[in-house]
Every structure is written in structure tokens, then in C-alpha cells.
Chains A and B, each alone.
Chain A
Amino acid sequence: MSSHGITRADVQAVNLPRRRIVNSAMELLAWLAAAIAVAALFVVVWSVVKRGAPALNLDLLTKTPVQFALGPVKQGLANAFAGSLVLVGLATLMTVPVGILIAVYLTEYAAPSVRSAVSLALDILNGVPAIVIAIFVYGLFVVGRGQSGWAGSFALACLMLPLVTRSTMEVLLLVPGSLREASLGLGVPRWRTTLSIVLPQTLGGIVTGTVLAVARVAGETAPLLFTSSIVGTQVSWSPSHALQSIPVAIYELSESPDPADHARAWAAATVLLAFILCTSLAARWLATRGRRRLSTSR
């Protein structure tokens, strides 16, 4: 049945050249897809930086916007930078303790049914669009009371919570059971074990998760639109009334017909991109360093 050489099955292999062409065509398409994706990134980033860099100056950070100015110079966005700092900072302060507590509860105390219920709630929270979160916080805190930095921070915190909780849970689960058992075996009570032995091991992961959540939320506009957008031009550090923020400022400036406004929008976008890029890189560096430490400590 067998014959010599490649001839026997060649009768059926007559389609091999065509198959090779199809294979090469598909490989080309895949390369193309990757090129398009990378190109999209570069086009957007390059557009922003090309237009934003010339408009970047210290005034942007230090001067406040002038409301009804005529002419090219509209000064800066100091109120937005200050406001973003306050809003994101407050949101982080609200989220991190709660996120850690939830993660601790889910890994140490919760029964499996409770754990899946709470996880489901967090998944749903993660999946709610930011604009709906905005409506929710609006209805909860803004109606009747007016906008405030607290409302805006709370809205941001709702977005951050699932991220921080999930990353904290991941690192908590990485802590070896033997560590807990060693501490409990010494007679140290459970709560002390958790707080003094387990949590410190997870600090690196918590920081990384928080930094990633901050990077994510620093650019969010929708949650702030209904909660902290009707603002004055003065720099304010008090969250009791609405604070301007970078994303909202960019949003408003982008809709304006004035090219001077556009220039400031590009500049602010450049700063925002730079911030997000740096924090993401920092988080990644922290993550690899933490992983290295974890593997060498075994």
C-alpha cells in the first residue's frame, strides 16, 4: 500500500500550495490587526502630546481660569488640578479601608453562600455604567442639597471599590495558610493574626491595587458630571461644595468653539495621560517587585 517518495499522497496534496497561501494571508491579517491596534494608540497619544505640549506651562497649574476673557490667553486650570487632587484623594480614603475590610470578611469569615452573594454584588457594582452611578449619587446626595465634593468623591469611590476589593482579595488568598496557623498555634487570637500577620504581607498588593484604581478613576468624567460640575473658577480645597476636576474641565473645554479653550484642553489631557501612564507603570513595577519578594521569601 505504501509507495516510494512523496508521490502517493501528492494526488491529494495538490491543494497544499493553496493552503499555504491561505495560511500566509491569515498571518498577514493578524499582523495587520496588531499594527492597527498599536497605531491607534500612537495616533491618539501623539495627537494629544503634539497639541498639548506647546500649551503646557506653569500657568496651567497655578492660574485659575478667567471667566469672560476675550483674546487668546485664558490662563490656567488651577482649580481643576486642586479639585482633582481632593476628589481622588477623598475617594481613595473612602475606598481603601472599606475595600480591605470587605476582602478580609470574604476571605476569613464569610460562609460560601455569603461570599458568592457579596461577590455578585461587587460584580454588579463593577458592571454598572459610570453614568448610572452618577445618577444614583445625584439622587442620593445632590437632590435637595446641591452638588459637593463629597458627592463626587463618593461616586468615584463606588467605581474604585470593586477594583480595590478584588486586588486585596487576590493577595490575601496568596498568603500561605501555614502563616496563619503558626500564629494561631501560638495562641494569638484570630483578629490579631489577621491584622498583624496576614495584612502586612499583603500591603504591597493593596498598594498596587489602589494605585491601579486611582489611575482608572483619575480620568473618569461621568460620575462627576452630576455631582461636582457646577463650579466657580477659584481654587478650593473644601469638599463641601462642588469642585472642578481635570476630566470635567477637559469635557467642557472640548465642547467649546474657542481654540484657546481647546489648547488648554489638550494641555490638561497631556498631563492626565502622563499621570495615568506613570501610575500604571508604577503599579506594574510594584507588582513585579512584590512578586519577586514573595518568591524569594519562600
Chain B
Amino acid sequence: MITQMQVRASRPERLDRVLAVESLDASYGGKPALKDVTMDVYENLVTAVIGPSGCGKSTFIRCLNRMNDLIPSFSQTGTIRYHGQDITGSDVDPVAIRRHIGMVFQRPNPFPKSIYDNVAWGCKVLGMRDNLGDRVERALTQAALWDEVKDRLKASALSLSGGQQQRLCIARAIAVEPDVVLMDEPASALDPIATGAIEQLMHDLKQDYSFVIVTHNMQQAARVADMTAFFSISRGEEGERWGELVEYAPTETIFTNPSDKRTEDYVTGRFG
């Protein structure tokens, strides 16, 4: 399996590009956060985004599903193409994008509804009302949560443990059948066992979805990702800091044979 992935990843031009980022600049209220990011996200792979804190990883991933639109001071330039169509324009409706590019957040944020309703609500609203029960069951099964909750679907989602809640959020996200699932440090608030469960999830679901995961944990990236993007902080003359994409390559290359010295310093723990 790993060899196959390695082979596929080392010839990325053979794979379909699901997201193509080109010259992305992002800033908050004039202060730059990201500069000149260009990279492609490939289909049915797990792509990790790593780097020291403050390097703009979260900002980057939130650009991919237009979540930064919610922040009034935010602005960006550059293009992001989803299957060839630019999704950055103001004429593009974020609502349409987000059902194809879903997101799981750092801290589990289940709705104050029952377990069943948490997963079903998105489907209902988005118009996927047929076989709702089956959809919910499939999503919970894919999220490796079904066996644990199948007897108490009507219980409040808040009665679940942290790890279970996060898996519920994953189920909720995949219930609406997205293409890409963005994950912003999904396991940072969880214990190692729950973290392992989520990593296994990503591995098992890769064939159906494409994952982009932000993580501050290098070992997690090494375990789980096919491609890894390393962001680092650059400084300007007047002391401004922003994030830049330093290197983007198959994970094994990043960790064993990085081309950029900054990447090497980071993964060998010399800083960050």
C-alpha cells in the first residue's frame, strides 16, 4: 500500500488535481499572512500542511473553502482552482463551494442536537433527504463511530467523549458527500488513542475523499500523509512576518531528503 502510494506520489503529474493554488497572497487588515503560495492538491491523497506556529497554515486551509470570508478584515489575491474552476472570485458563491470542500475543526464542535440529527441536519438542509437513515449510518460507519452510537442515536451529541465528538464531526462532514475534506489540526485536542483512530480513518477513507490536514505534529504527518507541504515564517525589513510555502513534495522526500535547508532544520528539530 505504501509503496503504491509512494509511486503514485512521486509521479504527481499522473494524478488528478483537485485543487490548484496559484500565487495566493492573504492578509488581515493589511498585515500579510501568506505570500505567493503555489501548490496542487491531488485527488485521493492525504496532503499534510506542516510548519511552525504562526506560519499561516490555518489561514491557508481556510482559503480553500472560503471560510476566511467570515473575517471582515481578510483579503486575498491569487487563484484557487477546484477541478479547473476558479473559486476565489466574488461572483462565486461560497455556499456552493463548501458542500464540495468540507471542514473539520480543531476543537470538536458538534451541534447541540442528537447524534442522529448532527449528521442528518446537513443532508436535510442541502436537499439530500432520500434514505436519510442510510446516509447517517454510512457516514457514522465511515467515521468508525457507528458501533459505538448505534443504540443511542437520539442521545445528545454533547454526551460523547472528545474523540467521539470529533469523529461525529467527521461523520457530519462526509455525510454531505464532499470531494475534499479539510482538517485543521483535528487531533490536537484529543488523546493519543483518539488521535490514532482519526489517523486510521483518513487512511481508510482516502479512496473516497481527498484530505488536506494541517498538523503541528510532524510524526503525524509522517504517519498519515502522502504529500507534505512545509510552510515557514519569513520576515520583512520592518519586522512584519508572513508565511511562505517552502517545499512541497511526497512525504518521504520531505522527511528523508528535503531540498531546502529550512525544511531540513524543521524536520530534524533544529527549530520550531
A and B touch in the complex (CB under 8 A): yes
Closest beta carbon of chain A to B40's beta carbon, Å? 15
- Contacts from A to B (Cβ < 8 Å): 1-2, 4-6, 8-9, 12-16, 19-20
Chain B residue with the shortest CB-CB distance to A18 = B127
Q: Evaluate contact between B177 and A6: CB separation under 8 angstroms.
A: no
Interface of A is mostly: helix
Chain A residue with the shortest CB-CB distance to B208 = A1
Closest beta carbon of chain B to A29's beta carbon, Å? 19
Given A2-B43, A15-B127, 8 other A-B residues pairs in contact with their CB atoms under 8 A: A2-B18, A2-B209, A4-B16, A6-B82, A9-B100, A14-B127, A19-B95, A20-B93
Q: Evaluate contact between A5 and B208: CB separation under 8 angstroms.
A: no
Q: Evaluate contact between A9 and B83: CB separation under 8 angstroms.
A: no
Q: Evaluate contact between A5 and B127: CB separation under 8 angstroms.
A: no
Chain B residue with the shortest CB-CB distance to A9 = B177
Indicate the size class of the contact surface on chain B. Answer: 20 to 34
A12 contacts across to B, CB distance below 8 A:
126-128
With an 8 A cutoff between CB atoms, is B210 at the interface?
Answer: yes
Q: Evaluate contact between A2 and B84: CB separation under 8 angstroms.
A: no
Complex CA distance for A206 and B82, rounded to whole angstroms? 59
B85 contacts across to A, CB distance below 8 A:
5-6
Q: Evaluate contact between B83 and A5: CB separation under 8 angstroms.
A: yes
Q: Evaluate contact between A16 and B43: CB separation under 8 angstroms.
A: no
Interface positions, chain B 54-101, Cβ under 8 Å from A, are 82-85, 93, 95-96, 99-100
B93 contacts across to A, CB distance below 8 A:
16, 20
Closest beta carbon of chain A to B134's beta carbon, Å? 15
Complex CA distance for A2 and B82, rounded to whole angstroms? 13
Q: Evaluate contact between A13 and B209: CB separation under 8 angstroms.
A: no
Chain B residue with the shortest CB-CB distance to A16 = B96
Q: List 14 A-B contacts (CB under 8 A).
A: A1-B207, A1-B208, A2-B44, A2-B209, A5-B83, A5-B85, A6-B96, A12-B128, A13-B96, A15-B126, A16-B93, A16-B95, A20-B93, A20-B95
With an 8 A cutoff between CB atoms, is B179 at the interface?
Answer: yes
Complex CA distance for A6 and B85, rounded to whole angstroms? 9
Closest beta carbon of chain B to A8's beta carbon, Å? 8
When the two chains form the complex, which single residue of A1, A6, A13, A14 contacts B83, counting CB atoms closer than 8 Å? Answer: A6
B177 contacts across to A, CB distance below 8 A:
8-9
Q: Evaluate contact between A4 and B127: CB separation under 8 angstroms.
A: no
Complex CA distance for A156 and B95, rounded to whole angstroms? 55
Closest beta carbon of chain A to B135's beta carbon, Å? 11
Complex CA distance for A15 and B179, rounded to whole angstroms? 19
A6 contacts across to B, CB distance below 8 A:
82-83, 85, 96, 100
Closest 10 CB pairs of A and B: A15-B127, A1-B208, A5-B83, A12-B128, A12-B127, A4-B83, A2-B179, A9-B177, A16-B96, A9-B99
Chain A residue with the shortest CB-CB distance to B99 = A9
A9 contacts across to B, CB distance below 8 A:
99-100, 176-177
Chain A residue with the shortest CB-CB distance to B44 = A2
